[in-house]
Amino acid sequence: MRVVSVHPDVLVATSRVWQTTCTIVRGGDEAFVIDSPVLPDELDLLPTLLQQTGFPFSGLLATHGDWDHLLARYAFPDAALGVAETTAARLTGAPGSAQRHLRDFDERWYVRREKPLSLGQVQSLPVPGRLEVGSRELELHPADGHTSDGMAVFIGDADVLVCGDYLSPVEIPMLSEDGSRTAYLATLDRLAPLVERASVVVPGHGEPIDPQRALAILREDRTYLESLPSSSVPLARRSGEQRRIHEANVEHVGQKA
């Protein structure tokens, strides 16, 4: 796991798996952990990381309900998990889904965990809305399309945008089973002015990027989605796995036609 400071009050940890990001934001005497790394040893390091850097842990947030963004409860089992109202509804409507997907991943890659994932107390947050973390205010913006749920978090004063599974330098747009191309494009439209305000953009997968690169990815992703099913995989992300995601996107759009 690689940890970088993108602001004196914002740390970003990037997992060794899928480059899933975990953002830690401090506001005075409080600190929130947004999303999570994936592997057990990375999760074990989170409390020590906060202690050593002087970030006083207060709570958890998740940008959306995909299992690889919900694992910080392993590191902080007694903490409440704050999510968008859409994510709370998704987790309630499909109880055990995140745990099943995690179990499938662990079995495939021979990962051992000491106990099953428990989401515990889930706090539904109104989105759009605002959330105070000590002396700092977080703006919560709707971010659906990749899935049926989600939110992006703009960290006030630090000018850091945590956008969930959008604007990734390593992963093309992915339309999940409950995702929507129309909603995804609408989210890109909402993200554009936030990127222009930001000094750093933290995608859900891939290390933090500057706003100029994020805007270039946004334009590329919009063109890719608008051109489906005839679009091609963007050159900089043309790996075998991204071709697989593209094939699934083409099938998804065909089913919705």
pLDDT tens readout for residues 132-155? 998 899 999 999 999 999 999 999
Tens of pLDDT along the chain (257 residues)? 999 999 999 999 999 999 999 999 999 999 999 999 999 999 999 999 999 999 999 999 999 999 999 999 999 999 999 999 999 999 999 889 999 999 999 999 999 999 999 998 899 999 999 999 988 999 999 999 999 999 999 999 999 999 999 999 999 999 999 999 999 999 999 999 999 999 999 999 999 999 999 999 999 999 999 999 999 999 889 999 999 999 999 999 877 65
Distance of CA 201 to the CA centre of its chain: 12
Task: Write down the pTM of the prediction.
Answer: 0.94
Could you list the beta-strand ranges (E) of 28-135: 30-35, 57-61, 81-84, 122-125, 129-133
Region of residue 110 (left: phi > 0; alpha: psi -120 to 50; beta: else): left
Cα–Cα distance, 211 to 195 (Å, whole number):
6
Residues in the chain: 257
Domains within the chain, CATH numbers bracketed: 2-256 (3.60.15.10)
Q: Are 253 and 181 in contact (CB under 8 A)?
A: yes
Nearest to 161 by CA among 63, 69, 237: 63
